Amino acid sequence: MSEADGVQVPIHPSPLHTVPRVGVGVFVVRRSDGKFVVGTRLSSHGRGMLQLPGGHLELHESLEACAAREVVEETGIRLDAGSLTYLTATNDVFPDGKHYVTLFMRGYVPDGVEPVAMEPDKCASWTWASWDELRKAEGKFLPLENLFRTRQGFTPSS
């Protein structure tokens, strides 16, 4: 216990963040077949897990701007922020204590556009997957796992 202004305050190790962080995951959908971009995480947080392009919402950034920025940074695909749609969110508490609220967005790309691993230290490659393929896949990053677990009947095209 420590005393501040005459009030005893318990001393606990300070967590990395005292409030949840906001993450954005983007379904980059190909119009012709409804498949979307997925990759395998290489960073220490969720290493080896399947992920969507995405990242952290920056201070004062709109969801659409964040989604467009993260997609181009990670895949080289340019999405018009005006064409992005909010889909749903998950509440993700990781075993290591990290806590995120993940906002899922959707943007469409025409046929012939291919993702490139722009940050090979974070994701070795990107590929196209269907909703059913992702649903059946093992090793999904927690926000995707929670999306399937808590949003019964959800699809990125609905």
Domain boundaries, the chain: 16-150
The per-residue pLDDT for 16 is 59
pLDDT in tens, 13-63: 445 568 999 999 999 999 899 999 999 999 878 899 999 999 999 999 999
C-alpha span between 35 and 23 (Å, rounded):
22
What 40-44 contacts at long range (C-beta under 8 Å, 24+ apart), as own/partner pairs, is 40/123, 40/124, 40/125, 41/122, 41/123, 41/141, 42/120, 42/121, 42/122, 42/123, 42/124, 43/121, 43/122
Beta strand 7-9 with 2-4 is antiparallel
CATH node for 16-150: 3.90.79.10
- Residue 27 token pair: 């379904």
